[in-house]
Structure 1
Amino acid sequence: MKQSGVTLLELMVVLAVSAILLGIGIPGFAAFTRNSHLTSAANELLSSLHLARSEAIKRSSRVVVCTSVTGTSCAVGGGWHQGWLVFHDANNNAVVDSGETVIQARQAFQAGLRLTGNTLVSKYISYAPSGASKLTSGAFQAGTLTLCSESDGSGSGRQIVISSTGRPRTAKVTLASCP
């Protein structure tokens, strides 16, 4: 009578090979997951900026994207990673006033992601009826938002660049530290 099955030696070889393959694959998977989170977060904001720009053109009126913690009003402090609003700004003051329509509210990113803007785009991005980004003063508004992982030492990040015409785009960057 012939018996089937595996020997202890065969089982140990399979386990050793599996452990080696897992040891090689896990660091790559961690980097893949980190990059996926960064790309997803950058695309969320990029989508909101495209929405705001198209709504400004469609409504023939100013539409603003501002930082928001509450989801109902623009934030005074904090960064873009805490959430943001897209709203129709009828009186051109970059603040949600009564009677102004909130088009979209986005919640905070997962813990560990940080999104900050340089001076001109640190609190809001405002789109004029032409689709160009402009400050409430009427001056053109261009800038860069930088997205990075606070807990990651790889230095990989994303930037959302707003051109002087208002067109947003993303770029992969290597950062010395998370701002």
Structure 2
Amino acid sequence: MGEHEKLICNNKKAFHDYFIEERYEAGMVLQGTEVKSLRNGKANLNDSFAMVKNGEAFLHNFHINPYDFGNRENHDPDRMRKLLLHKKEIVKLFAKIREQGYTLIPLRVYFKEGKVKAELGLAKGKKNYDKREVMKEKDMQRDIAQGLKDRNRGARDRD
């Protein structure tokens, strides 16, 4: 994350369920009450995804809580939001998404120089055995770290 960025929300589940191959930064078309709600950190990326339709990219299932002090003009929390990408990027992404197994997942949403940005990942789904391998690797690393910690503690006790 850059020094002029403020994180709004993360999608931790994306790294567990997908292999992220490429990353893209996109702006978003938002209403005023949505930006105010995002400034309060009231957003959720779980189960959200992006799609390319008619040469435009859209973010689906990105939940932004209604603004607390909004009136009848408050936004719909789960509406589809347009993503701002260059035409070349959209064409490239559309071609990749058409390939088997690729999907476009939002990884995080943040403020960058006062503007709301979404980091998108071109991802391929993990199989269950891939997830088990990753978990097994993490367990082994944790056990190794714990073993070294115990060994160092035992050396101090003997001194």
The normalised TM-score by structure 2 is: 0.26
Could you say which structure has the larger radius of gyration?
1
More strand by share: 2
Choose between structure 1 and 2 for higher RCO, CA contacts under 8 A separated by at least 6 residues.
2
The normalised TM-score by structure 1 is: 0.24
